[in-house]
């Protein structure tokens, strides 16, 4: 059964968990990131992203601009796009005329950097105007365009303003002309425009955008490889040195319908699969949907961390092979888990199966939130499940696995990506169609359905399992609420009467009734902290376990326990949730579990059986790690 | 108390373990490698090493030789050198006029490629005659020269022939002139010539070679960095692309006396330290010896695998940081463990401490022997402690960790290095000085001492612990025999009477007496198989154990056990050695240990406690792994 996500503005968070993070993004992160994009923070990695656009605009107005005026990555524009998109979502929640004014200024600047024919990209305008559309493999032109299209749709939906949407329609028309009539075998080395064009189609109703999205999906990976052919006819590249074409990295090894395994650059993969799933849904392409399901299984059943992280190697920021999930040299890019949420949501829109939402939730509450410091000022790009200061960030194999979050990155894709997924969370939490309103994630606040109901959700999720929805308005309709896979004993009541959960379909309880003002739908989830074991096929986790409570993976940090490496979980231990600690890490429910501490040995290797001392191990939610300085951290610990 | 190693020819192996491996090298490996060096084996990686020398000789004789006639690495000559050296050692054991004739021919060819001034190197002669001594960082000229010096000394000692020694004296004189008078701040990017010049000094008595060796040791790492200065004045490099100078890699970050940690390329490190230890010994340089001891501790107490492997990352084939010892992405190059034996032996020559010999033995019987297939036809460059087919050799992070030995390598340093250490093992097994004859390793066969005693050693070591020496001749002298650290209950008798081992000094029992014809010295070592635990500082080994018996680390292979990843060792298990199996893997004592097998789970992560089935795990010596096809292997296994 197909469905659509709700518009972002249909959900208003209250001041519980999701609302608090959204507020943090709105009040701290968005202004902070705007300062960074304008290079106003002296101690932070230089961005220059706004200035690049200004230079492009000046050049178009006839000013003399040096090619060297451009600074940063070839995809620097996309940082601005993601920031606009995130800011637009925050406007959907809280009006902010000053922010809106700032956005309009940035949009006007961006518009001034647009060429007559609709082309817009500061890198090529300033630095290489004769090289447009000639290096689809590396140049990220379609990627940047895609992000700005998403921003345009977001701003239009949030404010009704067409300023950015008009710019991006003109740009999309330019791209349509280029790729449907001239460069008909071409597609971007970094997928993104596919999913963005589908959003443009929804916002504008222009069928050509859907047609172009489908075209990009269809031509990708056809033999002979377009990116290789393009390369052969070019004597320059973006990075000043030749990098051999890796077709997995560029998601171009096979036509998408033939792909079985998630390979290559993890972010590029999930962005592509999201576009595929959307095209599959909107063109009723069962073959394409089947390919999406295969890729989903490849990721979530064989190549995903317990934290919802994906992409286990820094080499190409990529998937490797099945069950190769090292905890210490892991990549698990924040953006990849955000993209996994995109993919999950898009699959949910095709068919409501709880496993999609379960993974979406796993990614959000663990890797995605871990990507941002609790004060919104620092960000992880890479999300390790084990950190040993002195090794992590230092040993050549661990140099990317940092023990503390940096402020910003030269390649700053992740921080603004966190902002936009957090700000848009309502759209991920709910879906609807003619017959049914779906509750996919639990988030405190109010949501309006197409049928005229307003649901007010009260919950302290993810720390507590009570989720209560109170209905305003009246309508005969179906409410479908997800019963997560991790909740072993779940209770659902309507107006206090238990619902028979044995009738759940694919992880959702469907309640068809004439809903009345004041009706309540109350979900009680099983928040028992549980020990989790990995498949013995995962070499890195053999003999180990971790703890999960609700959707939250837990970890042990040195600041709570002393050194973590000598700690082992007791085989028969039952983890115990402590009382909520409002002042710890912005409010958490710590978990303790009985364990052992191995005494330090005198020699590197020894026949002496390790001396064990009983030790209660204190665990915290993974998303809160590295907020108290550099220290040892582990998710998976040996069991003894 | 200083000592010298015995000459290689003073030891004659019998047909027990060491003799069998030496025979394999003599009868199979040396002829096989000669065919490879001559490109006579069509399915093996091309070497061209002899042909390169032929081309150089032809060019010196005035023939027109294209620079493209050279093929292979810039250090291709060193493969020939190591082969000559190994072949020379085999001649010390068994006369072989045909091999000697072949050697004389190769040596004559090499001599014909020597320039008037003594310079000899096929790469530069054929390919880049105007670039000699201008790229010490990359060009390996001193490295190749060093290896050929070692070969020259070996051939001279084995046969009394001066042909190669004369060539290399002329070459060493050329190097002396160049580096003592012109290029006085220069030293090689890959250490080797230092230890080789010390051997040349011993063989020829020419003090200038010792002086030059000390000079190379002293100038290395002085500020400003010579290799960086050299680079700044050069517009070319060897590898056709610029690689930024890594001073750790080239062992040039600090003057050697200031080095505390073993860093950078592991082989370069141990080759350097060996030269340092020799110079320290022969110049009574206590400060230099202290630096060697620090580096020894850095390696063996914090950066060494239980197999005696060193260098934990493929990135730069290098050490990383303390306790970073991953079992699956490990490098542990065969050559590095061979170099560790060099270093250990050179330290023993400075001071007889059992720990040096213990590590030398650990490296030899595990990583070094694992470097060669049991039939002598295939070789490992990299020696992992965990192999999972499908991941090992496939995942980008594991591409260097192969599940089976290849035949040869483009960079073929390891195979001939195994040949030469095996063939020269007598010199590593024994040392002597005016007062004492030292038994450092146990090897069946006869050895002659300077004092006129002949010791005949009968043993089935390393599979059995009885080692009996019978004396021929008579002399009043001290015999010192090492009591290894792994033997918890050791018995030593002289003519059947127990020796009090509480009087051992630094791991050696010293027996001073008037030795008579027929005297026996009998050592009974504790061959109980034992469970070994690693320091909890080694993240990769937490919660795990391995099994060792005598000097042999054991591992579990899939062919004996089914899949290895689901296996765990029982916490209370006592490993049990089975009877010797003469037909298994050329003769081994398998060990079994009680364990568990985890049943496969349905999902990647699960709250279900793993179902365990009792399982006896069969273990084989690590050096015999990967001789029965591609399969899962582990040294360290979880304990439950």
Provide the residue ranges of all domains of chain B, joining segments of one domain with +: 433-524, 529-638
Cβ distance A537 to B390 less than 8 Å, yes or no, reads no
Check pLDDT > 90 for residue A243. no
Half-sphere exposure for B205 (CA within 13 Å, toward CB): 0
Q: Cα B150 from chain centroid?
A: 15
Which residue on chain B is closest to A563 by alpha carbon?
A: B537
CB atoms within 10 A of CB B105: 11
Check pLDDT > 80 for residue B491. yes
Using CB atoms, which residue from B300, B321, B397 is nearest to A315? Answer: B397
pTM as predicted: 0.95
Cβ distance B328 to A539 less than 8 Å, yes or no, reads yes
Query: Which residues in chain B have their CB less than 8 angstroms from residue A318's CB?
Result: 396
Picking from A402-416, B435-449, B593-607, which range would have the lowest pLDDT averaged per residue?
A: A402-416
User: How far away is chain A from the Cα of B29, in angstroms, using its nearest Cα?
Assistant: 34
Using CB atoms, which residue from A320, A542, A563 is nearest to B565? Answer: A542
Question: Count H helices, E strands: chain A?
Answer: 19, 23
Q: Which of B315, B318, B325, B542 is the mutation pick for testing A, counting most A CBs within 10 A?
A: B542
Cβ distance B606 to A329 less than 8 Å, yes or no, reads no
DSSP B488-512: SS-EEEETTEEP-GGG-BTTEEEEE
Check pLDDT > 90 for residue A123. yes
Strand A436-439 and strand A475-482: pairing? Answer: parallel
Strand B491-494 and strand A530-534: pairing? Answer: unpaired
Q: What is the pLDDT of residue B504?
A: 95
Contacts of A572 (CB under 8 A, 6+ apart): none
Q: Which of B543, B545, B546, B615 is the mutation pick for testing A, counting most A CBs within 10 A?
A: B543
Using CB atoms, which residue from A304, A315, A328 is nearest to B604? Answer: A304
Q: What is the pLDDT of residue B610?
A: 87
Check pLDDT > 90 for residue A218. yes
Q: What mean pLDDT value characterizes chain B? A: 96
Cβ distance B568 to A543 less than 8 Å, yes or no, reads yes
Q: Any catalytic annotation for residue A586?
A: no
Check pLDDT > 80 for residue B21. yes
User: How far away is chain B from the Cα of A601, in angstroms, using its nearest Cα?
Assistant: 6
What value does the mean pLDDT take over residues A184-200? 98
Q: What are A271-303's pLDDT values in tens digits?
A: 999 999 999 999 999 999 999 999 999 999 999
Q: Which of B305, B326, B396 is the mutation pick for testing A, counting most A CBs within 10 A?
A: B396
Q: What are B532-572's pLDDT values in tens digits?
A: 999 999 999 999 999 999 999 999 999 999 999 999 999 99
Question: Which DSSP category does B601 fall into?
Answer: P
Query: Which residues in chain A have their CB less than 8 angstroms from residue B301's CB?
Result: 603-604
The single residue of B292, B335, B413, B555 carrying the catalytic annotation is: B413
Q: Which of A313, A324, A489, A553 is the mutation pick for testing B, counting most B CBs within 10 A?
A: A324
Check pLDDT > 90 for residue B43. no
Cβ distance B605 to A535 less than 8 Å, yes or no, reads yes
Q: What is the pLDDT of residue A610?
A: 87
In degrees to the nearest 10, what's the CA dihedral of B72, B78, B84, B88? -160
Contacts of A135 (CB under 8 A, 6+ apart): A230, A234, A236, A237, A238
Query: What is the CATH number that goes with domain A433-524?
Result: 2.60.40
Tell me how far apart the alpha carbons of residues A146 and B191 are, in angstroms, rounded to a whole number.
54
Q: Which residue has the tokens 């213990």?
A: B358
Query: Which residues in chain B have their CB less than 8 angstroms from residue A539's CB?
Result: 328, 386, 388, 391, 565
What value does the mean pLDDT take over residues B238-254? 91
Cβ distance B324 to A571 less than 8 Å, yes or no, reads no
User: How far away is chain B from the Cα of A473, in angstroms, using its nearest Cα?
Assistant: 41
Helices A334-350, A414-423: inter-axial angle, 10-degree rounding: 40
Using CB atoms, which residue from B306, B543, B604 is nearest to A605? Answer: B306
Which residue on chain A is closest to B388 by alpha carbon?
A: A539
How many inter-chain contacts (A to B, CB under 8 Å) are there?
A: 187
Query: Which residues in chain A have their CB less than 8 angstroms from residue B392's CB?
Result: none
What value does the mean pLDDT take over residues A196-210? 98
Q: Any catalytic annotation for residue B413?
A: yes
Cβ distance B326 to A396 less than 8 Å, yes or no, reads no
Tell me how far apart the alpha carbons of residues B244 and B255 are, in angstroms, rounded to a whole number.
20
Task: List, in sequence order, every residue forming a beta bridge with A439; answer none if it has no partner.
Answer: A430, A481
Instruction: Please answer whether residues A546 and A639 qualify as being in contact, where contact means their C-beta atoms are separated by less than 8 angstroms.
Output: no
Instruction: Please answer whether residues A25 and A415 qualify as being in contact, where contact means their C-beta atoms are separated by less than 8 angstroms.
Output: no
In degrees to the nearest 10, what's the CA dihedral of A279, A281, A287, A293? 100
Q: What is the pLDDT of residue A25?
A: 96
Query: Which residues in chain B have their CB less than 8 angstroms from residue A605's CB?
Result: 306, 532-535
Q: What percent of chain B has pLDDT over 90?
A: 95
Which residue on chain B is closest to A487 by alpha carbon?
A: B607
Check pLDDT > 90 for residue B490. yes
Cβ distance A313 to B605 less than 8 Å, yes or no, reads no
Using CB atoms, which residue from A313, A609, A638 is nearest to B638? Answer: A638
Tell me how far apart the alpha carbons of residues A221 and A124 are, in angstroms, rounded to a whole number.
26
Q: Which residue has the tokens 């912005």?
A: A586
Q: What mean pLDDT value characterizes chain A? A: 96
Check pLDDT > 80 for residue A411. no
Q: What is the pLDDT of residue A413?
A: 73
- If pLDDT is split at 50, 70 and 90, which confidence band does A519 have? very high
Burial A36-53 (b: 16+ CB within 10 A, else e): bbebebeebeebbbbbbb
Q: What is the pLDDT of residue B415?
A: 83
Q: Which of A531, A604, A611, A637 is the mutation pick for testing B, counting most B CBs within 10 A?
A: A604
Instruction: Please answer whether residues A632 and A617 qualify as being in contact, where contact means their C-beta atoms are separated by less than 8 angstroms.
Output: no
User: How far away is chain A from the Cα of B638, in angstroms, using its nearest Cα?
Assistant: 5
ipTM over the 0.90 cut-off: yes
The single residue of A413, A457, A504, A546 carrying the catalytic annotation is: A413
For residue A286 the two structure tokens come to 């069962």
Query: Which residues in chain A have their CB less than 8 angstroms from residue B386's CB?
Result: 539
Contacts of A334 (CB under 8 A, 6+ apart): A367, A368, A370, A371, A379, A380, A381, A382, A383, A414, A417, A418
- If pLDDT is split at 50, 70 and 90, which confidence band does A45 have? confident
Q: What are B400-413's pLDDT values in tens digits?
A: 999 999 887 777 77
Instruction: Please answer whether residues B231 and B191 qualify as being in contact, where contact means their C-beta atoms are separated by less than 8 angstroms.
Output: no
Q: What is the pLDDT of residue A398?
A: 94
What value does the mean pLDDT take over residues B405-432? 89
Question: Which residue, among A371, A432, A358, has the nearest Cα to A406 in the 3D structure?
Answer: A371
Which residue on chain B is closest to A549 by alpha carbon?
A: B607
Cβ distance A542 to B328 less than 8 Å, yes or no, reads no
Cβ distance B604 to A329 less than 8 Å, yes or no, reads no
- If pLDDT is split at 50, 70 and 90, which confidence band does B446 have? very high
Query: Which residues in chain A have their CB less than 8 angstroms from residue B489's CB?
Result: none
Cβ distance A543 to B640 less than 8 Å, yes or no, reads yes
Cβ distance B568 to A538 less than 8 Å, yes or no, reads no
């Amino acid at each position: 059964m197909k469905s659509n996500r709700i518009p972002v503005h249909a959900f208003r968070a209250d001041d519980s968990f999701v609302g608090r993070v959204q507020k943090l993004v709105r009040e701290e992160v968005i202004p902070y990131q705007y300062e960074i994009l304008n290079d106003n923070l002296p101690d932070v990695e230089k961005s220059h992203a706004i200035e690049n656009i200004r230079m492009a605009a000046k050049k178009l107005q006839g000013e003399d601009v040096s090619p060297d005026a451009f600074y940063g990555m070839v995809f620097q524009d996309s940082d601005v796009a993601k920031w606009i998109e995130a800011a637009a979502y925050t406007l959907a929640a809280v009006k902010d005329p000053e922010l809106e004014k700032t956005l309009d200024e940035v949009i006007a600047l961006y518009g001034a950097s647009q060429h007559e024919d609709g082309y817009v990209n500061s890198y090529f305008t300033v630095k290489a105007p004769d090289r447009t559309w000639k290096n689809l493999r590396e140049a990220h032109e379609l990627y940047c365009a895609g992000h700005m299209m998403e921003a345009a749709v977001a701003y239009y939906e949030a404010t009704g303003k067409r300023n950015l949407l008009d710019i991006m329609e003109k740009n999309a028309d330019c791209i349509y002309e280029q790729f449907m009539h001239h460069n008909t075998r071409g597609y971007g080395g970094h997928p993104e425009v596919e999913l963005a064009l589908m959003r443009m189609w929804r916002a504008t109703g222009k069928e050509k955008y859907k047609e172009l999205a489908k075209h990009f999906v269809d031509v990708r990976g056809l033999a002979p490889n377009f990116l290789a052919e393009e390369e052969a006819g070019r004597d320059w590249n973006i990075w000043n040195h030749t990098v051999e074409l890796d077709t997995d990295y560029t998601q171009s090894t096979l036509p998408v319908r033939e792909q079985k395994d998630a390979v290559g650059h993890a972010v590029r993969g999930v962005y592509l699969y999201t576009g595929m799933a959307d095209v599959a849904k909107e063109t009723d392409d069962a073959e394409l949907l089947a390919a999406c399901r295969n890729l989903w299984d490849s990721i979530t059943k064989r190549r995903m961390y317990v934290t919802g992280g994906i992409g286990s190697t820094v080499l190409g920021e990529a998937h490797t092979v099945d069950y190769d999930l090292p905890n210490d040299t892991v990549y698990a890019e924040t953006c990849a888990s955000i993209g996994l949420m995109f993919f999950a949501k898009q699959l949910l829109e095709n068919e409501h199966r709880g496993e999609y939402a379960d993974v979406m939730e796993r990614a959000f509450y663990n890797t995605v939130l871990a990507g941002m410091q609790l004060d919104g000022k620092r960000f992880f790009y890479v999300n390790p499940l084990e950190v040993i200061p002195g090794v992590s960030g230092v040993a050549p194999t661990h140099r990317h696995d940092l023990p503390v979050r940096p402020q910003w990155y030269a390649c700053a894709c992740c921080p603004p990506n966190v902002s936009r997924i957090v700000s848009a969370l309502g759209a991920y939490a709910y879906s609807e169609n003619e017959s049914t309103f779906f509750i996919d994630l639990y988030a405190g606040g109010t949501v309006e359905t197409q049928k005229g109901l307003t649901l007010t959700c009260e919950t302290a999720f993810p720390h507590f399992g009570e989720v209560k929805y109170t209905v305003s308005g009246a309508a005969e309709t179906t409410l479908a609420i997800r019963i997560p896979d991790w909740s072993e004993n779940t209770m659902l009541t309507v107006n206090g009467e238990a619902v028979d959960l044995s009738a759940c379909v694919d992880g959702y309880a469907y309640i068809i009734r004439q809903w009345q003002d004041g009706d309540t739908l109350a979900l009680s989830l099983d928040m028992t902290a549980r020990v989790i074991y990995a498949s013995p096929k995962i070499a890195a986790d053999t003999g180990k376990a971790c703890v999960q409570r609700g959707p939250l993976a837990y970890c042990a940090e040195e600041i709570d326990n002393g050194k973590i490496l000598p700690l082992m979980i007791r085989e028969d231990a039952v983890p115990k949730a402590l009382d909520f600690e409002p002042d710890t890490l912005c409010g958490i429910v710590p978990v303790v579990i009985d364990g052992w501490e191995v005494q330090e040995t005198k020699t590197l290797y020894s026949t002496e059986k390790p001396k064990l001392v009983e030790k209660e191990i204190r665990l915290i939610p993974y998303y809160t790690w590295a907020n108290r300085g550099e220290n040892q951290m582990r998710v998976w610990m040996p069991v003894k």
